[in-house]
């Protein structure tokens, strides 16, 4: 999909201007940059809530709203009309709804990443509602992340009630986009203005917002149980949010046929918490994670 240069996109008022926020530093820095330079544009700030985000993420987004005096639009997979969950009692976690009612308890993994597609991309596309839009994406000039790779196949979720024929396609080596729909054009402002990691950090610090506090023990935004976490990040979750660590453990099950569903392919969280060695976080930013969730 062709990307549009920032200078061109900001001239075009015939389309919507959407800034998806993940609660991570790069998408937030992008939002701050756009507010500081293009505040007259009808910018729409959107956060897609999986229902399993870190408490620090929610509070960081609230701080962003307070400092800049803007309202972030919060959407979720529960908005998808095909789920019809709003008519049921109470408001439930989008992740739990999909896990239990669509994927029959089949946990997502790097190979079968239904969570990104169903909890992030589809609600975003639903929000755009077939209108013409630019989606501003926080890929920096000093990184080269790849886009969403859907390796899901029909057999991966044969029990799914909402199987989508387009799911089987694989996107390899493509730039990060929030959608492959032709009406949603990607713009990469941080790349266009040559912003790298240091620029992003400086922008956030100088704005008064700073970085999300979870970066003290975790390298990425996203779900508290994200399967991309390193051992040190799981250990950090246990220290900083023992309740969420226990909640993540509770998702791991062994079926009567002996098949194990664990977040990590190498060990269960019960095994992981028995590791005495304290792992430090890799100083290299992981670029193999979910660029959509972790920007």
The first and second tokens of residue 132, run together, are: 């013409």
The first and second tokens of residue 32, run together, are: 């701050």
Residue 108 CB, nearest distance to ligand SF4 (Å)? 5
Is the Cα torsion angle 22, 116, 127, 17 positive or negative in sign?
A: positive
Q: Which of 23, 94, 108, 138 binds ligand SF4 (CB under 6 A)?
A: 108
Q: For ligand SF4, which is the closer residue by CB, 16 or 218?
A: 218
Q: Select from 33-41, 113-121, 178-186, 245-253 the region that touches ligand SF4 (CB under 6 A).
A: 113-121
x-marked contacts with ligand SF4 along 1-40 as a string, rule CB under 6 A: ----------------------------------------
Residue 115 is a binding residue for ligand SF4 (CB under 6 A):
yes
Residue 116 is a binding residue for ligand SF4 (CB under 6 A):
yes
Angle ∠(13,29,142) on CA atoms, nearest 5: 100
x-marked contacts with ligand SF4 along 198-237 as a string, rule CB under 6 A: ------------------------xx--xxx---------
Are 117 and 152 contacting, i.e. CB atoms less than 8 angstroms apart?
yes
The full DSSP string for 26-64 is: HHHHHHHHHHHH-TTS-EEEEEEE-S-B-HHHHHHHHHH
Residue 50 CB, nearest distance to ligand SF4 (Å)? 5
Number of residues that bind ligand SF4 (CB under 6 A): 14
| 242 vs 248: CA distance, rounded Å | 10
Residue 123 is a binding residue for ligand SF4 (CB under 6 A):
no
What are the CA-CA distances from residue 200 to residues 26, 41, 195 (Å)? 7, 21, 7
List residues binding ligand SF4 (CB under 6 A). Answer: 50, 108, 113, 115-116, 119-120, 222-223, 226-228, 290, 293
């Amino acid at each position: 999909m062709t990307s549009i240069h920032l200078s061109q996109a900001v001239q075009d008022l015939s389309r919507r201007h959407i800034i998806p926020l993940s609660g991570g530093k790069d998408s937030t820095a992008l939002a701050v940059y756009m507010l500081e330079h293009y505040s007259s544009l009808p910018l729409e700030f959107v956060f897609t809530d999986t229902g399993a985000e870190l408490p620090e993420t929610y509070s960081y987004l609230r701080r962003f709203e307070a400092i800049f005096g803007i309202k972030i639009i919060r959407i979720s997979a529960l908005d998808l009309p095909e789920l019809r969950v709003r008519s049921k009692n109470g408001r439930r976690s989008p992740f739990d709804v999909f896990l239990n009612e669509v994927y029959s308890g089949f946990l997502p993994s790097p190979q079968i990443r239904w969570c990104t597609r169903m909890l992030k991309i589809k609600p975003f596309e639903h929000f755009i509602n077939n209108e013409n839009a630019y989606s501003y994406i926080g890929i920096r000039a000093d990184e080269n992340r790849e886009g969403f790779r859907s390796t899901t196949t029909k057999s991966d979720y044969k029990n799914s009630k909402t199987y989508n024929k387009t799911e089987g396609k694989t996107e390899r080596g493509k730039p990060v986009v929030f959608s492959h729909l032709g009406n949603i054009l990607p713009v990469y402002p941080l790349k266009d203005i040559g912003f790298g990691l240091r620029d992003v950090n400086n922008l956030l610090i100088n704005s008064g917002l700073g970085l999300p506090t979870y970066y003290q023990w975790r390298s990425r935004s996203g779900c508290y149980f994200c399967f991309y976490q390193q051992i040190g990040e799981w250990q950090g979750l246990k220290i900083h949010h023992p309740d969420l660590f226990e909640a993540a453990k509770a998702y791991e099950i062994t079926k009567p046929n002996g098949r194990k569903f664990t977040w990590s392919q190498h060990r269960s969280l019960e095994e992981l918490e028995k590791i005495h060695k304290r792992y430090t976080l890799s100083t290299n930013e992981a670029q193999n994670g979910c660029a959509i969730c972790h920007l």
